[in-house]
Each structure stands twice: as structure tokens, then as C-alpha cells.
Structure 1
Amino acid sequence: MASVNKVILIGHLGKDPEVRHLEGGNSVANFTMATNEYYKDKQGNRVERTEWHTVAAWRGLAELAEKYLRKGQQVYVEGRIRTRQYQDKDNQTRYVTEIIAEEISLLSNRPATDSAQPVVAAETPTTFRQEPELDQLPF
């Protein structure tokens, strides 16, 4: 049986994307995203719980993220979850779980935290998709 690795998030950007240009011409944009859930505790008080997600967008999607995404904007991100490991400076194994974005849609044009940021023009596309690499195609 086949397996599925699919993540869908709607939340607000915690920071502007940080873009790195790698050898070979590839780019990667990293940003954080907050999602909130609300519930009532035993005393009936409304409690908000925020979950932070690390998102990575590659190649053309990274360039579009750098150009259009700003801290505070509400976005829809669709992708897959990936956990990777690395050795820190003390030679300890560390793990990072991140969302590899395959689609990003702008749900709000104006950043929620800074009205001095530019507003995305009405003619700006609001959904961006990562084209699959040839080795990612299922056939």
C-alpha cells in the first residue's frame, strides 16, 4: 500500500523569509509560521495554544517567498513533513522537523504586524506552486 506525507497549514508568518543561494544555483527560503488552537480549560477560561512550524521553500518557490512574503501575513502552506539530523558544534546529534512547501497561498495581502510594509498589489499572484523535480514524479 502507498503512503501519504501531506501537511496543510493556515497561519501567520513569524518572520520574513531568510533566503540562501546554494551552489548550483538552487535557493532555499526558510521562515517560521504560527498556527493557533483555542480550547476551554476546566475552569471555563478560553486558552490559546500556539504551535510554531519551520517551513522551507526551494528553488522558484524560494524566490517567490522572498519577493512576496512578509512577517505577519496569513498564508496557506501545503507540503510534506521532513525530519533531518545534524551534528552540532559539540558533536551532539540534533534533529530538525520542518515542512517542505509545495504550495503557498497568500490569504492576507498586508502584514498584520507592520502597516509600513508594502501592500501586495492586486495583480500579484496569490498562489505559488513548486514544480516537481523529474526524480519526484511517481512514474
Structure 2
Amino acid sequence: MANLNKVILIGRLTRDPEVRAFGNGGKVAKFGFAVTNRRKNSQTNQWEDEPMFIDCEAFNRGDYGTLANQIEERCRKGAQICIEGRLHLDQWDDKASGAKRSKHKIVVESLQLLDRREDGMGESGGGGGGRATSSGPARGSAPAPSRSGSGFSNDTGDDGSSGEEIPF
């Protein structure tokens, strides 16, 4: 039987990313993320927002991975982003009570900025910049450019994509 652990969400950062460097030169960016679900209240017949708060982390992986660096440079509290990643269950022992604790988080593998760039560097007439990735050397055909925002990922080009923008 096949297994798949893939998450794609659009939401907003609830806090600025916290970045830590490892002794081996790696880096992790941790940030809070909120997604809002809407549901109709059967008693008031009004639509209500139901926010869900999720902890996320992104790593610099491999020789070409710079996802944590990109998040540190470009993402701030309130920014709207699209993340792709996988669910991970963190487990630990509570120091105060000794009880086992756990929570799900998302390990981000790629991210796309959805807000308009305000520094004038985005594409004209579209609503944002193109797709930037942290992938390795070019191999095969490039992925289609994003509609808006800037995307970046930890992909190392194993899917045959070069990570370069297509100029059309």
C-alpha cells in the first residue's frame, strides 16, 4: 500500500521567523502559521472564521538548499504565503510533570510569497515576482512560473526541473 505525507496550505505568518544556525553550517527557520477555515453557524446563520495555528520549520538542506535563508530574508509576520511540506509529530517529556507530550508541525519543503512586493522589483502588471528556487544546477525542463509572489524550495532538481524561470 502506498503512503503519502504532503501538505499544501495558504495562510499568514503569525510571528517573524526565528532562525538558528547549526555547528555544521546548516540552518533552521521556525515560524508560526495561521490558516482560517470558514463555517456557517447554524444558530445565527452567519459565516464565522475558525483559525488554525500551526508551527512550521524549514531547513537549509544539501549543497544548494537555502530555504531557511530565504525565509529569514523575505518573510515577516503577517505575510501571506503558500507552503508545501509534510506533517511531522514532535514528541517530548514535559519537564514539569514528566508526562509525554506531542504536537504536529509542518516541515516546509517549498514556499511561495503571495503578497505583492512593495520594493518595485516584482513583475509588471502581475502582482509579484517570478519563481526563485534554491535548486541545484540546471537539468531538464523548468517548471511553469508562478502567478504571483516569489517561490523558493529545497528541491535539489531530482524531478528534472532546473528551477529557472520560463520567460513567457
Q: Smaller-chain TM-score range?
A: 0.7 to 0.9
Structure having greater relative contact order (Cα 8 Å, sep ≥ 6): 1
* Larger proportion of helix: 1
Inter-partner Cα distance in structure 1 for 2:22 and 2:120: 27
Inter-partner Cα distance in structure 1 for 2:40 and 2:74: 36
The counterpart of 2:105, out of the listed 92, 98, 110, is 98
**SS across alignment from 1:65:** helix
Normalising by structure 2, report the TM-score. 0.68
2:77 is matched with 71
Inter-partner Cα distance in structure 2 for 1:121 and 1:51: 32
2:28 is matched with 28
Inter-partner Cα distance in structure 2 for 1:49 and 1:119: 33
* Larger proportion of strand: 1
Inter-partner Cα distance in structure 1 for 2:46 and 2:9: 26
1:19 is matched with 19
Aligned length: 126
Instruction: Tell me which stretches of 4 or more aligned residues in structure 1 moved more than 3 Å.
Output: 118-121
Q: 1:17 to 1:109 in 2, by over 3 A?
A: farther
**SS across alignment from 1:70:** coil
Cα distance, 1:2 vs. partner?
A: 1.9
Which amino acid in the other structure matches residue 37 of structure 1?
Answer: N
Q: Percent identity?
A: 33
CA contact (8 A) 1:73 1:109 kept: no
2:153 is matched with 129
Which amino acid in the other structure matches residue 128 of structure 1?
Answer: F
CA contact (8 A) 1:68 1:120 kept: no
1:115 is matched with none
CA contact (8 A) 1:20 1:27 kept: yes
Which amino acid in the other structure matches residue 4 of structure 2?
Answer: V
